[in-house]
Copies of this chain bind each other. A is one copy, B any other.
C-alpha cells in the first residue's frame, strides 16, 4: 500500500544526533487514543488543550482509507488526502492512452467523479473497552490456544455482536501489546470516487531522492468523495477548510492512523529486528527494486504499470533503512536499552510479574529457528503477486468456511468474510509481466534462502526452475478473470478440489506446510509474546501511569505539536517553503523536472504562497493524508511525510528534530484556483465567506 513511512536513508540513519536524545524534551511525543488524550499535559506545555466537543468534531471528520489517513472537508463527503494515497486508484483508472498518474485527474462535473476499485473510507463512530471480555476468554490458556481463544472472542465482538455490516465495521484493537483491547466501530463507505489529483510530477517533485528531505516542494494532495447509495455521502460535521498560511509556533494536531511503531519492544525483540528481519527485508526489497527498474527501462507501458509497486518498494525501503540505521546507532540503542532497564528496576518488587523479558527472549530464540521458513513459505509467500494472493485466499476460504467461525484462520471469520470476498472478486487490472516477475522473484529467493536441499523447496519447485515455474503459472492461470474467481469462491471446497488451474494446484499442494508454520508461529512465538506483553503492559501502567500511549496499530490517534523548523547541525531550517521555490529547484530532468501545470502557469502562480511546512507532531507511516488541524478545528494542511530525523520514530521520538512534513491547504487551494482549476471544489471547500488570515 502507498504508505509513505518516510524514515530515512542509511546516510542519516548513521548521522542521527543520538548523543542528545536522552536529555531531549519529549513534550510533543505521543500517538494518543482519543479516549486517553493527555489534556493536562498538553495544557501544561501549551496553556491550552481541546475540550470534548473538539475531540468529537475531529473524530467524526477523521477518515481511514486503504493504508492511509484522510479527512472529510465538506458536508458533501469530500475527502482530503495525499496524492500518494490515491495513486493506486489513478493507476487502476488509467489506460494506455490516458495515464491519470502522469496527467492527474479533475472531475469538472460531479458526474465525472470515478469510482476507485477496492477503495474504502471508514470513520470511527464508537470505542468500547473490551479488555475484560478478551482476558476472560483467554483465561489461563497459553501458546496457540491463547491466540485461538483471543481471536475467537474478537471475532464474536466484531461479528455477531456488531450489527449492520453493510454500513458499519467493527474491529477489536490490541493496544499496549495486549494490555488493552478496544472495540472500534466504524461507519464504512465502500463507494469512494476520485475527484481531483494533480500531476504525479507536481505531487512527487524531487521523487525518491527528495523523499526524506526538507525543504520540499511537493503538491502531495488529492480529493476523493464518499458515496452512499450512488449519491455523495452527507457528512454532518466536516473539518473547516482554512486555506491560510501556518504561523510559527501555532498549535497543530494530527488526527490519523499511524500504522505501526515498535516503541515497546524488548531488547531481545529489537535485536531480532536489527539482526534478522530488517536486513533481510532491505536486501530482498533492493533486489526486487533493481529487477523492476530494469524491467521498466525503456518501456513506457511497463513504467506506468509498475510505478505504484516501485513507489511502494522505494518508500518502504527508506522507512526500514531508517529503522535499521537507528537500531545500529550505538547511542540510540543504548537509550532504548536504558528504558528497558528502568522498567525492570521499577518492577523488581512485583512478584506477580514473573520475568516477561525472559519469556519473550525464549520466544524470540524459538522464532529465529524457523523465521526463514515462515517468512518465505507463509508470511511472505507469493511476494506481492496478486494472482498468487487470489489463489491462496480461495484455497483457504474454501477450507475455512467448512469450520465454525471461531476456529478459522484470521480473515476468514464470518465478520471478515465479506471484506475478504470483496477483495478477491473486485476487478482490478493485472499485469502479467509484473505477476511473473514477483512470483519468479519469490520462488528464486525461497530456494536461495531455504536451499535446494529443502524438502519444502522441492515440493514447491519440483524439477522446474523458479523462472520457468513462474512463467508457466502466470501464463496458465485463469485467476486474472474475476468470473473464474467468483466461480471458485462460490464453488467452495469442491470447486477448489476439482480445479486444475496451475496456481490453485500449487497453493493446494503446499498449503499444509504454510498452515503448519503459521501454527508453529502462534504456538512458539505469538502466544508466549502476547502473554508476556500483557504482563509488561501492566508493569508499565504501574510504573508510569497515563503518561503512556500504546504503540501504533493503524487506528485513529491524535498527536499535538506546533509549527516549527529545526536546527540542522548548527543551521536553522525554516519551517516553510514557498511555491516560487519550485522553479529554482527544477533542473529539467526527472525527477526534478517541472510538472507541465507548473511550467504552463508559472506567471499565474503566486511565488509567496506557503507550499510545504513542518510541525513537531509525532507521526509515522499510515498517517499519510492526515489532516493537520489548528486549535479552532480547521484543517490547514495534509501530512505527507517526515523529515530525515523522524527515521528513528519507529523506536523513539526526539522532539528537537523529529518533524512532520505537511502540504498546506493554502498551496492546495492555489493549485485548485490557478494550476489545475477546479472551481466546483473551491466553492465546495469554502461554502461560507472565507475566513480572514490571522
Contacts and interface: CB of A to CB of B under 8 A. Distances in A.
A318 to B, nearest CB: 9
B271 A330 contact: yes
Contacts of A286: 283-284, 286-287, 290
B449 A10 contact: yes
Contacts of A467: 297, 590
Interface stretch (A77-85, A205-213, A224-232, A597-605): A205-213
A297 B328 CA distance: 36
A449 B9 contact: yes
A206 B452 contact: yes
A451 B209 CA distance: 6
A684 interface: no
Contacts of A10: 276, 279-280, 283, 372, 449
A592 B452 contact: yes
Contacts of A464: 587, 589
A282 interface: yes
Contacts of A587: 462-464
Contacts of A463: 587-589, 592
Interface in A289-322: 289-295, 297, 321
A209 B9 contact: no
Contacts of A321: 283
Contact of A452 (B210, B372, B462, B588): B210
Contacts of A324: 279
A50 interface: no
Nearest to A591: B465
A491 interface: no
A274 B208 CA distance: 26
Contacts of A293: 287, 290-291, 294
Interface residues of A, number: 56
A196 to B, nearest CB: 29
B465 A589 contact: yes
Nearest to A586: B463
B14 A453 contact: no
A448 interface: yes
Interface string A465-480: 1011000000000000
A447 B208 CA distance: 10
Interface string A431-457: 000000100000000011111110000
Contacts of A465: 589-591
Contacts of A289: 287, 290
A499 interface: no
A368 B452 contact: no
A288 interface: yes
Which one of A9, A279, A282 has the highest number of Cβ atoms from chain B below 10 Å of its Cβ? A279
A284 B282 CA distance: 10
Contacts of A437: 294
Given A283-B286, A291-B291, A297-B295, A372 B11 contact: yes
Nearest to A314: B448
B451 A213 contact: yes
A275 B14 contact: yes
Contacts of A592: 452, 463
Given A280-B10, A282-B283, A209 B291 contact: no
A592 B458 CA distance: 12
Contacts of A275: 14, 328, 330
A287 B437 CA distance: 15
9 contacts: A14-B276, A14-B371, A276-B328, A279-B279, A279-B324, A286-B290, A290-B290, A290-B292, A292-B294
Q: 3 tightest A-B contacts by CB?
A: A290-B290, A294-B294, A286-B286
Interface of A: 9-11, 14, 206, 208-210, 213, 271, 274-276, 279-280, 282-284, 286-295, 297, 321, 324, 328, 330, 368, 371-372, 437, 447-453, 462-465, 467-468, 587-592
Given A9-B448, A271-B330, A283-B283, 13 more contacts: A10-B283, A209-B452, A213-B451, A279-B279, A279-B328, A287-B290, A290-B291, A291-B291, A291-B294, A293-B294, A294-B295, A297-B467, A467-B590
